[in-house]
Amino acid sequence: MKPTYVFLLLACSLFFCFVNPAPKSKWQVIFNGKNLKGWDTYLGRETDENGRAANNTPVGFNIDPRGVYTVVKEDGKPAIRISGETWGALITKQQFQNYHLRLQFKWGKVLWGQKKKANVRGSGVLYHSVGALGADAGFWMRSQEFQVEEGRCGDYWGCAGGSAEIPVVKKDGNNYFYSPQGNMTAFSDGNAQGRHCKKQGTGNEKPVGEWNTLDLYCHGDTSIHVVNGKVAMVLYHNSQSDKGEFTPLIKGKIQLESEGAELFYREIMVQGIEGLPAALLKE
C-alpha cells in the first residue's frame, strides 16, 4: 500500500474517533427505590453493648427478623435504612469490575451496643467482596473497605485477607496516613503496619443529618476513595492473602455494613469505566 494511502486511512480513522468517541457506559441503578431486589442480606451473631456474643450462631443469610434493612422515604426520596441493630451486610447479588460506584449516605440518630457506649457512628462500603459470608469477625465477606465512620470517612481496612499498597506518611505514633508523596507501604493483616490506613487531611464530611456523596473508582488493581468530591485515598495492588500468598483482588460484590449505627443510603449506581481519572491520582 502506498504511503499516501496509509496516511489518508490514518487521518480518517483519527477523525472518526474524534467525532465519534467510544460511547460512555451508562449508569446502572442498583437500588430501585422500591425494594431490595438485587440484594441479599447477612446478619451475624447478636452482641451486647460490649461486643460480646450471647452465642456464635449467626442470624443468617436472607433472614432479618428485626428489620435491619428496609426501604423507607427519607427527606422525600426513597432510601435504604440500615438500623445497625445487628451487625452484618446488605450484599449485591451482582459482581462488579472496572467501575465507578456513586452513592449518598447520611447518619440517623439511633446507636446500638458498643457503638452506643462509645458514641461513635460507623458503617462501611465493602468492595471486591468474595468468598464466605461472615469471614471477617463473623459479619462480612473478604473485601476492601471504604470506611464510613464519623470523622474517618475514606479510611481503608482490609477485611478477612484484603490487602493493598498505599503511599503513606507515618505520624501520631504508629498511625499511617495516605499521602500522594508518601512511601509505598503494604497493608495486610499480620504485618507490621496492620490492615488499616487513614485518609489524608481532615476529611470532607458533612454534619450528622446531612447527605454525603461517596465515589469509588476501581480499575485493574487500583481503587480511589472520594468523599464529597475530595480524594481521601488511592490504593494500589489490591490483593488478597491466603497463608501469606498474595493474589489479585480486582472484582467482587459490594456490601453495605450494618455496624451499630442507624444510617440511610440512596441513589446507588454503578458505571463501567475504561480507566481512572488522571486528575484524581494526583490529588
Q: Tell me whether residue 209 is in a domain.
A: yes
- The number of domains in the chain is 1
Residue 25 located in a structural domain: no
User: Over 60: is that where the pLDDT of 1 sits?
Assistant: no
pLDDT at residue 24, rounded to an integer: 56
CATH code at position 65: 2.60.120.560
Q: Does residue 277 sit in helix, strand or coil?
A: coil
- Tell me the average pLDDT across 6-31: 54
Whether residue 222 is contained in a domain is answered as yes
pLDDT given at position 8: 36
The rounded distance, in Å, linking the Cα atoms of 121 and 69 is 17
Residues 46-83: pLDDT tens digits?
Answer: 887 777 777 889 999 999 999 999 999 999 999 999 99
Report how far residue 121's alpha carbon sits from residue 83's, in angstroms, rounded to the nearest whole number. Answer: 11
Which residues form the domain of 54?
A: 39-282
Per-residue model confidence (pLDDT) at position 32: 98
Task: Indicate whether 77 belongs to any domain.
Answer: yes
User: What is this structure's pTM?
Assistant: 0.90
Which residue in 208, 181, 186 sits closest to 197, CA to CA?
A: 186
Q: For the segment 132-186, what is each residue's pLDDT rounded down to a tens digit?
A: 999 999 999 999 999 999 999 999 999 999 999 999 999 888 899 999 999 999 9
pLDDT averaged over the chain?
A: 90
